[in-house]
Structure 1
Amino acid sequence: MSLFRTLTDKSWEYQGSDTHFSKTRTAAPERIALRFFLGVVGVMFALFITAYFIRMDLEDWRPMPEPLLLWINTLILFISSVTLQWTRMILGRGQRNKLKSGLLAGGILSVGFIFGQLTVWQEMTGAGYYLDTNPANAFFYVLTGLHGIHLLGGLWVWTRASFKVWFGADVEEIRLSVELCTVYWHFLLLVWLVLFALLAST
Structure 2
Amino acid sequence: MMHARMGRWVTAGWVLLGVAGGIGVGCGSDGSAQEGPPGGEQAQIPVGAEDQERIDIGLRISPVPLKLEGLDRNLVGLGSYILNAQAGCSDCHTQPGYLPGGDPYQGEPEQINTTNFLAGGKPFGPGLVSSNITPDVQGLPGGMTFEAFLALMRTGREHGAIIPVMPWPTYAKMRDQDLKAVYEYLRAIPPAQPGMAPPPAP
TM-score normalised by structure 2 residue count: 0.30
Higher-helix-fraction structure:
1
TM-score normalised by structure 1 residue count: 0.30
Of structures 1 and 2, the larger Rg is shown by 1
